[in-house]
Amino acid sequence: MSDVILRENLLSSFLELQESFKESLDDAKKLDKQFQKIQKDFSVRMASCIRQAKKSLPYENPLSNQMDSILSAISATDKAWQDNLTSYDKGLNFRQNFQDSLLVFVFGKVKSGKSSLGNYMAWGNTDPSTILKTPESTIYQPEYFTEVNTNVANGDTHDEAKLNREFRVGATEATSSIQGFRLPGLTWVDSPGLHSVNDINGQLAQEYVDHADLILYTMSSDAPGRASDIEEIKELTNKGKEILILITGSDFNDEFWDDELNDLVVKVKMKTDGNQQKQREYIKNELKVVNSRDILSVSARYAQEHSDELNEMESSGITQLFSRLRSISQNQGLQIKRAVPMTNFNQFLSKCQKELHPYKKLTEDLNAEISKLERSVPMVMSRYAREAQQEMCAVLSNTFDSLANHRDDDEKMNQELREARRGWNDKLQQIIGVALESGLVDISTNLKQAADKTWYTASLELPGFSIEKVTEKIPAGHVPGTKKRYSGWGGLSGTLVGGAVGFLFGGPPGAILGSSLGGGAGGLAGSAIGDDAKLKTKDIEINVGDNLESLKKQVRDEYLRVIETVIKDESDKMLKDVLADMRNVTRQITNELSSVNEGIKNLKALSLQNNRREVR
């Protein structure tokens, strides 16, 4: 009889089960502490990264608002993630406080022996006395609870089982609550009757049955295997739950006259083996899907009266029930159940990884925006620079057209140029400012004038206007000679020829110079014919050209160069100031994401490793 499992043996094995659940839960909580550190470090570094990035954004840079909005989105994402982590249930407990033990759910019709069986499991007595329920009576003190009370008429009152520390037996609608007790490693739940006269009770029982590890379906031996019982059991088997069918009250009162006592004696006896077997076979045949060993004939009352007699205890069927309970508590299903906190935590970590995806997307968006700006800013600003240059060219052309009226007076021309230059400089600043603003509006909605003080007129070294002149001697009078009057032809013809030759070789200046030279040569020829004469001459300056066109080109080139340089420098500076910093931010965020992902990945690997250890 050494293999007979008594109540004390069963409770001792449940105590070991509780320790294994506690160990599993502790392992999960240790991993959670590691996760909390990873999470906190990530949050602190992210906040610092974003704070520093925002602080470093140039106030007057037109791209700053654009970058700031993306940083704010990343910051909001981080806050939402941290808030979610706070609100999420990590699963570091057991479902409804019933999962750190073998959860037995007692199911069946009203008055099918559920409450009596529960009292016996809790106390070793179907009707425990006050003395039995004192702490000194046993080391295994059941802790009662009430989950829901439907408050039906004739049902148990709120927390009745918890207050009385036992289930009420014998009432018409005895159990109107989801109530139960906990012993180390065991949670026993007594449900309202499945086919209660009150529909709410039946619905309540259906809601809780899904949480059970084992269903004990009770039916009275007075009327076992009713059609309604058979249908309910079939439905439960379809849920994949492990079910034991208990034919309760498999005893009878044997009355006989005791001559010694001279009185009528009532003694509890088990129904005959044949009778019990017949009832079990009937139920098995009706169900067709239940193994014979899953149908037990039991009597808690008989076991209670023969607690010290192993043979009689075995006859009660209770020891077979205890044996099955212990076997179930050691099977793979309970091993998997012990891993529930670790499994839940692993799922939580997966959810955490999934919720890091928005960080990744925002970082990718930021990188994409940076790349877009790196490409688009130079193109956009180049276009606006060309438009600005065209506008400046028009201004310069108009000014030089009006200046042409003073090209014979270099002093007046240079005075007009100095005045025009002030206007050009003002216009240059205006054109550059408008170009930058117009161009950057295409890139950012909030433009700060970034170039008001950056353009530089000091580089505009413009030349002055000058007129090219030659000094020519012209006749101022003469002393008559003895020569004939025709002798002067030579001088005139020399001047015309010399002028023509000079024009061919040197244009108008050459013509003037050639005329002078030709006149001199002709004079010499003429003097050979007549007498020598005295010629009076005077010096005059003759305009032979100016640098107005060259000056116009130089001015235009210098102003266009300034427009191109300033706009390019400003856009380059804008890109350098903001985008380089943003590139650095994205690298930091990417590194932080990689770090936290790696940490979570390692924790997941540890949780899976622990799970495999639990189910071995």
Compute the distance between CA of residue 477 and CA of residue 454 in angstroms, rounded to an integer. Answer: 64
Q: Hey, what amino acid is at 54?
A: K
Angstrom distance (rounded) from CA 606 to CA 150: 44
Domain ends where: 281, 316, 351?
316
- Rounded to 10 degrees, what is the CA torsion of 317, 226, 215, 302? -20
Pick from 316, 345, 360: which residue ends a domain? Answer: 316
Alpha-carbon span 482 to 353, nearest angstrom: 122
pLDDT given at position 319: 94
Buried b (16+ CB within 10 A) or exposed e, 74-90: bbebbeebeeebeeeeb
Q: Would the pTM count as exceeding 0.85?
A: no
How far apart are alpha carbons 15 and 322 in whole angstroms?
Answer: 14
In a domain, 338, yes or no: no
Q: Report pLDDT digits (tens) over 246-288.
A: 999 999 999 888 888 788 888 999 999 999 999 999 999 998 8
Q: Where are the alpha helices (DSSP H) in 124-198?
A: 160-164
Residue where the block lists tokens 């101022």: 476
Structural domain range at position 164: 95-316
Which of helix, strand or coil describes residue 445? coil
Q: Is the pLDDT of residue 552 over 60?
A: yes
Q: Can you give the C-alpha Rg of the chain in angstroms? A: 55
Last residue of a domain, one of 530, 546, 562: 546
Find, among 312, 360, 100, the residue nearest to 211 by Cα. 100
Residue 253: CATH number of its domain? 3.40.50.300
The residue count for the chain: 616
Which of these, 44, 106, 135, lies nearest to 248 by C-alpha position? 106
Asked if the structure places residue 499 within a domain, the reply is yes
Residue 133 lies in a domain: yes
Mean pLDDT of 139-152: 74
Strands (E), 16-174: 102-108, 143-149
Is residue 484 scored above 80 in pLDDT? no
Report CA torsion sign: 272, 275, 281, 287. Answer: negative
- Please tell me the total count of domains within the chain: 2
Q: Which residue has the higher pLDDT, 535 or 495?
A: 535
pLDDT, tens only, 557-574: 988 988 888 888 887 877
pLDDT at 251: 94
Q: pLDDT value at position 38?
A: 92
Burial 128-144 (b: 16+ CB within 10 A, else e): beeeebeeeebebbbeb
**Local confidence band at 451 (pLDDT 50, 70, 90 cut-offs):** very low
Of the ranges 64-73, 113-122, 194-203, 503-512, the best mean pLDDT one: 113-122
pLDDT of residue 615: 57
User: What Å distances lie between residue 50 and 53, 57, 72, 75, 93, CA to CA?
Assistant: 5, 11, 8, 7, 35
Residue 522 and residue 570 in contact, taking contact as beta carbons nearer than 8 Å = no
Within a domain: 497: yes
CA–CA separation, 127 and 116 (whole Å): 7
Write phi, then psi, for 599 (nearest 5 degrees): -65, -45
Q: Report d(CA 216, CA 234) in Å as an integer.
A: 14
C-alpha to C-alpha distance for 570 and 555, rounded to whole angstroms: 22
The answer as to whether 254 is a domain residue is yes
Q: Token pair for residue 266?
A: 């009532």
Q: For strand 467-479 and strand 143-149, is the pairing parallel, antiparallel, or unpaired?
A: unpaired
Nearest to 47 by CA among 85, 75, 68: 75
Q: Rounded CA gap, 363 and 370, in Å?
A: 10
Task: Write out the H or E segment, with its range, that includes residue 545.
Answer: strand 534-546
Residue 559 placed within a domain? no
**Helix residue ranges per DSSP H, 57-113:** 64-87
**What residues have CB less than 8 Å from 394, skipping those under 6 apart?**
none
Predicted local distance difference test score (pLDDT) of residue 151: 53
CB 586 within 8 A of CB 366: yes
pLDDT tens for each residue of 573-607? 777 767 777 788 888 888 988 999 999 999 999 88
CA dihedral 502, 506, 509, 514 (to 10 degrees): -20
Contacts of 491-496 with C-beta under 8 Å, sequence gap 24+, read: 491/519, 491/522, 491/523, 491/526, 492/519, 492/522, 493/518, 493/522, 494/518, 494/519, 494/520, 494/521, 494/522, 494/523, 494/525, 495/519, 495/522
334 located within any domain? no
Q: Show the beta-strand stretches assigned E in 132-280.
A: 143-149, 177-183, 186-190, 214-220, 242-248, 251-258, 263-270
Give the mean pLDDT of 128-150. 80
The answer to whether residue 473 scores a pLDDT higher than 80 is no
Inter-residue contact 395 to 420 (CB < 8 Å): no
